[in-house]
Structure 1
Amino acid sequence: MVFTQTAGRRLRGLVIGIDIGGTKVAGGVVTPTGRVLSRLRTETPDRSKAPEVVEDTIVDLVEQLRRGHRIRAVGVGAAGFVDERRTRVLFAPHLSWRDEPLRESLQDRLGLPVVVENDANAAAWAETRMGAGRGVRDVVVVNLGTGIGGGIVIDGALRRGRHGLAGEFGHMVVVPDGHRCECGNRGCWEQYASGNALTREARELAAAHSLTASRLLEAADGDPARITGPLVTALAREGDRACVELLEDMGAWLGAGLANLAAAFDPELFIIGGGVCEADELLLAPARAHFRRALTGRGHRPEARIVRAALGNEAGLIGAADLARDVPSHRGPRRPGRAARSRLLFSRGSGPRPRRSGMRSGGRL
């Protein structure tokens, strides 16, 4: 389906934002100020399912959310590689999408303009425009979840890179020949500063029957496999020294990686989001300290601030909705012009070709 262009305008009214992760698909009806009026959430279909199953899930959420609302567009934040035109999901590690023309498929089924964006980019945009980075023009957002993703906003614009794949910070190699990463490399940053890294380190400490991990092991009913990142954070808040040290170690890795990003992008502000940020200053305080120690030219340059994200788990869908506002207004399928209709008609062999005149291009004989 083709939509007409409305140049130079952003859509007002209500837009639906969809956030697709490895475990959940969340959706919401979002106002121009970023307020979420209604919400729905469901589980992400198993990666073994056909691409159409995930598409069906998105369509079902949108159809439920649009009841009683006049919706102008849909923004979809997807965990994966999205092309620079924001139309196709090139690769999604937790889904079966491989070069999937998602925007076209959803527009045909929904009859609304659709924008597809990387989920971390969408969250970064929301935090910059409506969250912790409001009023700041140069921001790097780092999301700490199962892995590490992020987004780059420079001079007030979201930077996606030439192929749309910028912001994959988690796969910077920080330890040559380090821990094996799901991406196929070794020593990626997310193997040391993500939710998975925190859980792995805690389980290894408990499995070694270290006396310092006695409370952690007791809280997991004696089974290291039951230890999770939220459990570590909860015990650290209660003052358990082993869990505090685990978060300090992770904070040091986080700070080192941020120093690398500062050398590359020189932002005014780092915003740290994702579920791991529930640890708050138990994580961010050691991150700031190590950032200062690792920063290139420390003591002779301005330092970027490091703050916690403000929008929580809804940043992705809020950002996806806001990015969809740059899609032209929906005025239904566009009819081809007379010349285009003639070309289409004759290309199908349904009549004689038009007689060529004696004029060539440029109006010369």
Structure 2
Amino acid sequence: MQAIGIDIGGTKIAGALVDELGTIIREDRVPTPKQSDAIEDEVVEMITRLGDGADPVGAGVAAAGFIDAAQSTVYYAPNIAWRNEPLRQKIETRVDVPVIVENDANAAGWAEFRFGAGRLVSDMVILTIGTGVGGAIVTDDRLFRGGFGAGAEVGHMRVVPGGLLCGCGARGCIEQYGSGRALQRYANELADQGGIGQALADVRSRNGALNGPDISALIQQHDPGALAALRQLGDWLGQASASLSVVLDPQMFVFGGGVAQAGELLLEPIRNAYLENLPARGYHPEPEFRIAELVNDAGVVGAADLARVHAISH
């Protein structure tokens, strides 16, 4: 039972024909146009190309933003001029398969739950550590969307009242303390201090700035300054996970995104901070902490599988 998954990113639109085991049969990608109408045209053409000669049961379209609970309307997209956009209806009238629309982090998280690190549990939280912090929640084998469809925005959970201003307009969101951008801030602060931050300072002086790959390379070399910055990041993520655990009680936390390539070097401070901040420690069952297994294909695989689930249920 094959389905099509489309993932609309900031620079590219990726698509794939995917089977019920999460295996990609064929794939496609094009640059993301600047105009919203042109994006819709590219999605329609990609669905048509990927479905040619196959018999897909549906197509899932994943995009950043708030999507309604019916997987139909884009309430708000941060990078595309969609405001209360009836995207599902507009695409469905132009293709010959049923269509659903889903938040991109939800789609990627669902793929990780179905075919990746979370495939053996029923309740999972995934946090994706990139420029910001994205995430998804699965409870009792179901993707959590909330009453209006805009739930699971874990990156905007407040961890510091009155803290740093976030792009969402609020202050103190975990995105400002647990993201790749935050890691760069911590690394620069350590570089300013010298001492264990000397290698960070040397790289910054040589390259003019400290970017993500620079810091990642020093982490892999076990540079003490880079590891200290990573521990600071992990501490915030562990605190946020403890708060989420009190409400959701997941069996597993999964961490994805570029920073998660640090693997156990990231998970160790997350676990430590989680346990330090967990209420009733010693009596509350402890979840697993794992690194995401699906990387670049998670969005298209998750979108396709959600389209397949929708087709079965309807």
Say which of 88, 108, 112 aligns to 2:97: 112
Q: How do residues 16-165 of structure 1 correspond to structure 2 at under 5 angstroms?
A: 16-46=4-34, 49=35, 51-165=36-150
Query: Cα–Cα, structure 1 residues 86 and 119, in superposed 2: closer, same or farther, change >3 Å?
Result: same
Match of 2:272 among 289, 314, 338: 289
Displaced runs of 4+ in structure 1, greater than 6 A? none
Q: Deviations over 1:262-307 (max 9, x none)?
A: 0111111111122221111111111011111111111121111111
TM-score, normalization by structure 1: 0.80
Q: After TM superposition, give the deviation of residue 168 of structure 1 in Å.
A: 0.4
Q: Over residues 208-235 of structure 1, what are the superposed CA-to-partner deviations in whole Å (9 max), with x where a residue is unaligned?
A: 373543433443563443x222321121
User: What residue in structure 2 maps to residue 280 of structure 1?
Assistant: 263
Q: How does 1:190-269 map to 2 (within 5 A)?
A: 190-206=175-191, 208=192, 210-220=194-204, 222-225=206-209, 227-269=210-252
Instruction: Please give the secondary structure, in 2, of the residue aligned with 1:253.
Output: helix
Please give the alpha-carbon distance, in whole angstroms, between the structure 1 residues aligned to 2:32 and 2:185.
Answer: 24
Q: Would the aligned equivalents of 1:274 and 1:313 in 2 still touch at CA under 8 Å?
A: no
- State the match for 2:291 in structure 1: 308
The reply to whether residue 188 of structure 1 matches residue 173 of structure 2 is yes
* 8 A Cα contact 2:186 2:232, kept in partner: no
Q: What's the Cα RMSD here?
A: 1.9
Q: Which residue identity lines up with residue 129 of structure 1 in the other structure?
A: R
**Structure 2 regions of 5+ residues with no counterpart?**
none
Instruction: Structure 1: state its 5+ residue gaps.
Output: 1-11, 330-365
| Deviation per residue, 1:51-101 (Å, 9 max, x gap) | 212212322332333344333321111111000110011111122111111
Q: Matched residue of 2:94: which SS?
A: helix
Which residue identity is paired with 2:306? L
Residues 113 and 327 of structure 1 are in contact (CA less than 8 Å); yes or no, is this contact kept in structure 2?
Answer: no
How far does residue 204 in structure 1 lie from its aligned partner after superposition?
A: 4.3
> Against the structure 1 CA distance between its residues 180 and 224, is the aligned structure 2 distance closer, same or farther, given a 3 Å change threshold?
farther
The 8 Å contact of residues 217 and 224 in structure 1, kept in 2 or not, is answered as no
Q: AA paired with 2:132? A: G
**Pair 1:171 & 2:156 matched:** yes
Aligned equivalents of 2:90, 2:215: Cα separation in 1: 42
* CA displacement, residues 195-254 of structure 1 (integer Å, 9 cap, x when unaligned): 121123324444x373543433443563443x2223211211112111111111101111
What is the SS of the residue equivalent to 1:312? coil
Partner AA of 2:206 in structure 1: G
2:249 is matched by which residue type in structure 1?
D
User: Using the alignment, how far apart are the partners of 1:236 and 1:284 within structure 2?
Assistant: 13
Distance 1:286 1:219 in 2: 25
* C-alpha distance in 2 between matches for 1:326 and 1:209: 53
Residues in 2 aligned to 1:53 and 1:28: alpha-carbon distance in whole angstroms? 19
Determine if contact 2:156/2:174 at 8 Å carries over to the other structure: yes
Aligned residues between the structures = 312
- Higher deviation after alignment, 21-30 or 250-259: 21-30
Match for 1:24: what amino acid?
K
Identical aligned residues as a percent:
46
Q: Taking structure 2 as the reference length, what is the TM-score of the superposition? A: 0.93
Letter aligned with residue 210 of structure 1: G
What is the rounded CA distance, in whole Å, between the counterparts of 2:233 and 2:32 in structure 1? 29
CA 221–106 in structure 1, closer or farther in 2 if over 3 Å, else same: farther
Q: Secondary structure of the residue that 1:59 maps to in structure 2?
A: helix
Are the aligned partners of 2:188 and 2:200 in contact in 1 as well (CA < 8 Å)? no
What amino acid does structure 1 have at the position aligned with 2:128?
Answer: N
Report the residue type matching 2:91 in the other structure. L
- Helix, strand or coil: the match of 2:309? coil
Aligned to 2:309: 326
